[in-house]
Amino acid sequence: MKDLNTEKDWVRLWDDLDEHRQNILLFREIIAEGDDVTHDLMTEIHTLHTAVEGLEFKTMLNEADDQRAALLTINAGAGGTESQDWAQMLHRMYTRYCEQAGFSYDTVELQYGEVAGIKSASIEISGDFAYGYLKAENGVHRLVRISPFDSNARRHTSFCSVFVVPIIDDEIEVDLNPDEVEMQRFHAGGKGGQNVNKVETGVRLIWTGKLSNGEQARVVAECQQERSQLQNREKAMVLLKSRVYNLEKEIQEAAKAQLEGTKMKNEWGSQIRSYVFHPYKMIKDHRSDYETSDVDGVMDGEIDEFIKAYLMSLRE
């Protein structure tokens, strides 16, 4: 059913383009007859140009998992409170982006910092092509600013890693040996280490086993936002299988293409974007070279142009 709806969307997009094309031809005929509808013609040409750009952009989302929901995980790097505050800023940026893009989201895992910010967070994001868009955010995000936590007002550099994996559904089977999965229970914690739930409803699942290439792997997934332990366990299992699936997918891609140079692994050295707040304001993506000085807009969720520039750069 999902594939059928996708095909219908493509047909609708092409029909819209054809309608704009016919309108342009009609306006040209009217102008040739002596009536001045130049403004209407230019408006229609601009609309067609925008529609073509949108369609061209959407053709970038043609991989098997692009239509799926996404699990976006943020981890603070070394640097304590400063990095943890940066992680929280990124969490806000992505949730605001989801609201603007029409995606639904749910923070399924959140670990607060001791002083401020967060140590890590995992956001489940649902919507058309959620993974296809957000996979552009995979990598390390670097912040340069005057730290509000430094009494000497010195400039600090902080890092956070962002990992995005597709969330699998019933169409994909991932079989995990139950003996290789450890379940841990914990209190769903609040800010500052407070236990907002006296019952151990939070669930952490740890899979330790071998991947298809023979490598030993340890994969962790947890969920704490549901009301019952059973619900959290079910959600955590979906997230665990999604992460294992993504590891296997990376193995297959590496064997097939030996990893293209543009597809960097999520290592601390793979900085994809720099956010400079001081001594000047500039955010630059190091893969596409797209940059903007609108720091406030980007941190408020306006990252569409970064995503578009990255996906379009994959064609070059």
CB atoms within 10 A of CB 145: 20
Say how far apart CA 7 and CA 223 lie, in whole Å: 34
The mean-pLDDT minimum among 43-47, 87-91, 295-299 falls in 43-47
Q: By C-alpha distance, which of 175, 177, 199 is closest to 189?
A: 199
| pLDDT tens, position by position, 94-135 | 999 999 999 999 999 999 998 899 999 999 999 989 999 999
Is 214's pLDDT higher than 50? yes
b/e map 21-54, b = 16+ CB within 10 Å:
eebbeebeeeeeeeeebeebbeebeeebeebeee
Say how far apart CA 222 and CA 186 lie, in whole Å: 10
| pLDDT tens, position by position, 224-234 | 988 899 999 99
29 vs 197, residue with greater confidence = 29
Stretch 169-180: mean pLDDT, rounded?
Answer: 87
| pLDDT tens, position by position, 232-289 | 999 999 999 999 999 998 888 777 655 344 444 434 457 999 999 999 999 999 999 9
Stretch 154-174: mean pLDDT, rounded?
Answer: 89
74 vs 60, residue with greater confidence = 74
| pLDDT tens, position by position, 1-59 | 556 566 676 687 788 888 888 989 988 888 888 888 888 889 989 888 888 877 777 77
Say how far apart CA 167 and CA 159 lie, in whole Å: 25
b/e map 275-311, b = 16+ CB within 10 Å:
bbeeeeeebbbbbbebbbeebeebbebbbebbbbbbb
